[in-house]
Amino acid sequence: MSDPSDGMLLAPAASASAAAASTPMGSPSPSTDAESSSKRRPNPLVDLIETETAYVAELASIIKKVASAWSRHNFPPPELDTMFRNIEAVYRANRGFLKSLREIGPNPSSPKALGDLLMRWIDDLDGPYTRFCDNFFSNFDNWPAVQSNSKLPVLLAEISQPPADGSAPIFSDRKRQPDEAWTLDGLFSLPHVRLKYYKKLYARLLKSTQPGRSDHRLLVLANEKLDELLERSKSRITMSLLDETPAGASTDRGSGTSFPGTNETAE
């Protein structure tokens, strides 16, 4: 792949302190005025790493904590089982992406490595996110098969607790309120919200890249793929379990895989 990072907006921060500062990419040095500085957008690469870290942790809580409300002796309904499995596939993809992001860090020595990673990520997310969107249903919180599980409210309350050290929680969705309790539907909607984040990021990268360059062409294709996934997401986000029997949802439980929450594969 040719160097797709030359014209990208995700330039490395000048230093660790500058990376942490809330400054939009390409802007002048931050103002000394605290109030003005606090209103600035964070460095895009720093924000990507921070929110991706939170997102992977949130997905892990679904398959490690929430899924444990069910077991091999109390197996979830097929529709719910499919949701858990598709979330686990998304988690594994994003865990790999986050690992690569951390290896590059907020101050990458090789912009090309960052550019290659961002382009490769579009290919990597396609499969798991397509399956997730195509089999998505909402209104699990109001489904009798879910409401009858007495363990679920306890587990949701546990993951809704703030950090034990008293620090402010960091969410993948910056708009989420710290005191907002998690619900099953809220957790299941996370990949939809994340797709919107990626679309904004890659649209910004495309806008900053000069037409005619190889990286511009790659970013056009990346944005087209994200648009396609968002259309899939939009078409399924209102599909409710309560409207009709979701016969279209895949109930394939895979081959040789254990139900999420009953094993230690999701690390």
- In a domain, residue 104? The reply is yes
Q: Is 246 in contact with 79 (CB distance < 8 Å)?
A: yes
For residue 13, pLDDT over 60 is answered with no
CATH number of domain containing 189: 1.20.900.10
- Do 204 and 118 form a contact (C-beta atoms < 8 A)? no
13 vs 36: which has the higher pLDDT? 36
pLDDT category at 51 given cuts 50, 70, 90 is: very high
14 located within any domain: no
Question: Is the separation of the CB atoms in 22 and 217 below 8 Å?
Answer: no
Mean pLDDT of all residues in 73-86: 95
pLDDT band at residue 23 under the 50/70/90 scheme: very low
In the predicted structure, residue 267 carries a pLDDT above the cut 60: no
Q: In which region does residue 75 sit, left (phi positive, over 0), alpha (psi from -120 to 50) or beta (all else)?
A: beta
- The range of the structural domain enclosing residue 130 comes to 40-236
Which ranges constitute the DSSP H helices of the chain? 16-20, 34-38, 44-64, 78-104, 111-134, 144-147, 151-159, 184-188, 190-207, 214-236
Which tokens belong to 17? 């302190």
Enumerate the β-bridge partners of residue 138.
240
Instruction: With respect to residue 206, please indicate whether it lies within any of the assigned structural domains.
Output: yes
pLDDT at 234: 93
Record the tokens describing residue 76, joined without a space: 């979830």
What are the DSSP calls for 162-207, one per residue?
PPTT-PPP--SSTT--TTPPP-HHHHHTHHHHHHHHHHHHHHHHHH
Average per-residue pLDDT in the chain? 83
Q: Would you say residue 57 lies in a domain?
A: yes
In tens, the pLDDT along 52-66 reads: 999 999 999 999 999
Q: What is the pLDDT of residues 112-126, one digit of tens each?
A: 999 999 999 999 999
Taking the C-alpha atoms of 202, 194, 163 and 68 in order, what is their torsion angle to the nearest 10 degrees? -150
Distance CA 222, CA 114 (A): 15
Residue 11, in any domain of the structure: no
Q: What DSSP state is assigned to residue 62?
A: H
Give percent above pLDDT 90 in the chain: 66
The pLDDT, as a whole number, for residue 21 is 31
Share of the chain above pLDDT 70, in %: 76
For 144, other C-beta atoms within 10 Å of its C-beta total 8
- 42 pLDDT tier (thresholds 50, 70, 90): confident
User: CA 233: distance to chain centroid?
Assistant: 13
Instruction: Write phi, then psi, for 67 (nearest 5 degrees).
Output: -65, -20
- Of residues 244 and 228, the one with the higher pLDDT is 228
pTM score = 0.81
Does residue 12 sit within a domain?
A: no
Q: Please answer whether residues 231 and 221 qualify as being in contact, where contact means their C-beta atoms are separated by less than 8 angstroms.
A: no
* Domain-embedded: residue 264: no
Compute the distance between CA of residue 48 and CA of residue 51 in angstroms, rounded to an integer: 5
- Rounded distance, CA 39 to CA 125, Å? 31
pLDDT digits (tens, 9 = 90+) for 147-187: 999 999 999 999 999 998 989 999 999 999 999 999 999 99
Averaged over 184-210, what is the pLDDT? 97
pLDDT value at position 238? 87
Q: Please check whether residue 47 lies inside any domain of the structure.
A: yes
- The length of the chain in residues reads 267
pLDDT of residue 140: 96
Q: At a CB cut-off of 8 Å and minimum separation 6, what does 98 contact?
A: 49, 52, 53, 56
Q: Give the chain's domain count.
A: 1
